[in-house]
Amino acid sequence: MFVLTVAVLSYVLRIFEIPFYRANETVNNEMDDYFSSVWLTIITLTTVGYGDISPKTKAGKITIVVIAIFGTFLISLVVLAVAQIFDLSQN
């Protein structure tokens, strides 16, 4: 599920960001390849957020916000599953 989420959201983010970089040739192209989009998606999804790459368009920023919220949800599910595994019972 994680790999599919990263692949789809990275592709969506790249679609939103490419027109900005094509229109502004003088701007440093942070999204020059698909891997940069994957990197940004993984870092945002895992709630690390290095800040080395950031979206420039409004649609890209909205996509990153959705990715951050979804990442928080995924991390909370992992914490819940691990807590339930180690839950001590009366027995």
- What are the boundaries of each domain within the chain? 2-85
Q: Which of 74, 49, 56 is nearest to 16 (CA)?
A: 56
DSSP 8-state assignment for residue 52: S
What average pLDDT does range 19-36 have in this prediction? 79
CATH class of the domain whose range is 2-85: mainly alpha
Instruction: Look at the alpha carbons of 62, 11, 36, 26 in this order and tell me if their dihedral is positive or negative.
Output: negative
pTM of the prediction?
0.79
What average pLDDT does range 49-72 have in this prediction? 90
Between CA 82 and CA 68 the distance in angstroms is 21
